[in-house]
């Protein structure tokens, strides 16, 4: 049962720190929250108190399989990050590069149809109803410029 400790672990094309506990290590993968990581470990029957460096190859393979198709293993739909996809109508869970690409595509679609959210994205403004008068003013002139101090003309020129 004794196994060698691995400091760096490869889970779903992402290098993960082996010193972290397994749920925290899995949540380092983009698109996986801590609650989803705990649900995955419960389905894979892996002890969440275990350090990621002590996982066996079989356990890592089982975790990766559940991450790639969580609905197949009976995880609830509310844990997924893309429910009722606009193209397919199915509940999906996207991770890493797929998640980033799909988000960019969604923003481009909003800009294309000229929705309000698309307009806000296009002009670099806040999208979710936050204040803009006082906050989020980076890159623009801030405050009031101070006047230059007037000095008497020097007497050296006489």
> 15 is in which domain, residue-wise?
8-79
Q: Is 150 part of a structural domain of the chain? A: no
How many Cα atoms within 13 Å fall on the side-chain side of residue 21? 10
Residue 1: predicted pLDDT = 47
Q: Contact, 10 vs 53, CB < 8 A?
A: no
Specify the CATH number for the domain of residue 37. 1.10.8.50
Do 12 and 73 have their domain in common? Answer: yes
The single-letter DSSP state of residue 152 is P
Q: Is 90 part of a structural domain of the chain? A: no
* Segment holding 14, helix H or strand E: strand 14-17
Residue 87: predicted pLDDT = 83
Q: Which residue did the predictor score with more confidence, 136 or 113? A: 113
User: For residue 157, what are its two tokens?
Assistant: 């020129």
Question: Rounded to two decimals, what is the model's pTM?
Answer: 0.72
157: pLDDT strictly greater than 60: no
Q: Is 86 part of a structural domain of the chain? A: no
Do 36 and 68 have their domain in common? Answer: yes
């Amino acid at each position: 049962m004794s196994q060698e400790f691995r400091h760096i672990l490869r889970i779903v094309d992402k290098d993960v720190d082996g010193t972290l506990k397994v749920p925290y290590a899995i949540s380092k993968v983009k698109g996986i929250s801590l609650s989803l990581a705990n649900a995955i470990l419960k389905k894979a029957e892996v002890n969440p108190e275990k350090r990621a460096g002590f996982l066996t190859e079989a356990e890592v393979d089982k975790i990766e399989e559940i991450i790639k198709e969580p609905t197949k293993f009976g995880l609830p739909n509310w844990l997924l990050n893309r429910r009722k996809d606009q193209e397919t109508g199915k509940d999906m869970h996207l991770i890493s590069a797929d998640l980033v690409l799909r988000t960019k595509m969604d923003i481009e679609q909003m800009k294309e149809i000229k929705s309000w959210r698309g307009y806000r994205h296009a002009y670099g403004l806040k999208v979710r109803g936050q204040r803009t008068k006082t906050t989020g003013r980076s890159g623009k002139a801030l405050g009031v410029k101070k006047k230059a101090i007037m000095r008497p003309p020097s007497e050296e020129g006489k």
